[in-house]
Chain A
Amino acid sequence: MSPARLLWQRFRAHRAAMVALSVLMLIVLALCIGPWLSPFAVDSIDFDGEWATPPSTVNAHWFGTDSLGRDVFVRVLEGGRISLLVAFAATLVSLLIGVGYGAVAGYFGGALDAWMMRTVDILYALPFLFLVILLMVLFGRNVVLVFVAIGAINWLDMARVVRGQVLALKQREFVLAAHTHGMDSAAILLRHIVPNLAGVVMVTVTLTIPQVILTESFLSFLGLGVQEPATSWGTLINEGAREMQTTPWALLFPAALMALTLLCFNLIGDALRDALDPRDAP
């Protein structure tokens, strides 16, 4: 059986993770097609349905309206779309930096490895979130900066995981065989080492995405991330928290959907890790 099939089989044994996977797919689907399910636009104010309390199926404000009369349902979906987009983009940034850095450090080893990992240690001890906050405050708020900055802080974990895996991989016979065939280091790295990292990288990615969603919403909550008229879960939670005495549902819906999404990612990540490392599997 191929390793991927085996992994999938072990993963399927985790019932909670399978449920999480389906729920997550439903959420993503809803985020993609959701805005067409509702007659309202993200930033339009419905003067008739002002302060509609959920569930108000009568006027199609499924989640009610916020204190300004904007439809919460549409805003939660739109915010989720941006939150997830930022999360995927930032994770991609951290993936590229982390895999490259970790693979080079682990493969070449020796003084270079020691020096590179020492640098990671030093960076790891930095309270990076403070620097990101600073970056956002100082250079204005734009979405590109948000995910580049978040991606740039999240690559450290990836680099460590990848390095460890590469250290183990390069002892294997097929790498030795490639060497004796006269393949150069760059080709061995790209052709033989990197493809074998897929498993650990997948787990780290699944566990990085919720981290990034949290960081993005943290920044947006402080008013430093995604800005009006665009919106994200963090921005919505921030707005909802300010008006929670009058329209608590404008806080509860984005918070609940974000928590549900994070929960799904965490469950899937845990199950994937178990599936890859079957030591204590049931």
Chain B
Amino acid sequence: MSDVEEKKVVTELFGDLNKKKKKKSKKESTGEEDEEKASTPVEGEDFEFKKKKKKKSKSSAADAFDEQLEAAGINEVAEEGSAEEKSDNASDNTDLTYSDLLSRFFGILRENNPELAGDRGTKYKIPPPVVTRDGSKKSLFANVKEISERMKRPSEHVIQYLFAELGTSGSIDGASRLIIKGRFQPKQIENVLRSYIMEYVACPTCKSANTLLQKENRLYFLVCQACGSTRTVSSIKTGFQAHVGRRKKVAA
């Protein structure tokens, strides 16, 4: 008789422990989520390359696979916890929807190893372009070299793209700064750089920015270092240029 009672007490104790554990972990996770929510919108000064902010649930197939592979250890821990909960009170578990569990999983994942958490796009940052006016009709783009080095692209290629998109011309001065004809704001240059990254840096297959630009038989190829895909990218075309300013006299 007494044995049975003891057992009961023990199980109750354990049950209490488990419950406490569960509650604690839940609280922690929610708190962290809140923190993250608060921190995510406030990003640094550096503008980052992102197509459109993907929600956690919409991670691409590759990402999900990677997470599953590499977060196996964390998964196991999480499963242990959930198993204990199940034995505790199975009725509680039915309330947990898929999205709840998913957000909880991502909360844990972010906490333990944030680099696996699927928003790799946010990690790609380049320094903001420094654009100042050079006289009344020219702009000075001071950190072209730095930016193109960060993107692992030859600065000539970046400059060629800038000129084609902006429909102007320019030159490089002694300190490897770019002089662009026309008035441009840093914001405008930033937009052009963004589209450059979309076209010539981001891998079209896996959206990784860890890519190289190779030239073979007059064709440019984008070789992704992350997923190994190779894609052709169109060469830079200037397109139609209208006459601006005074008309030149046509030579007879």
Q: Is this pair of chains taken from one and the same complex?
A: no
A residues touching B (Cβ–Cβ < 8 Å)?
A: none
**B binding-site residues for A, Cβ under 8 Å:** none
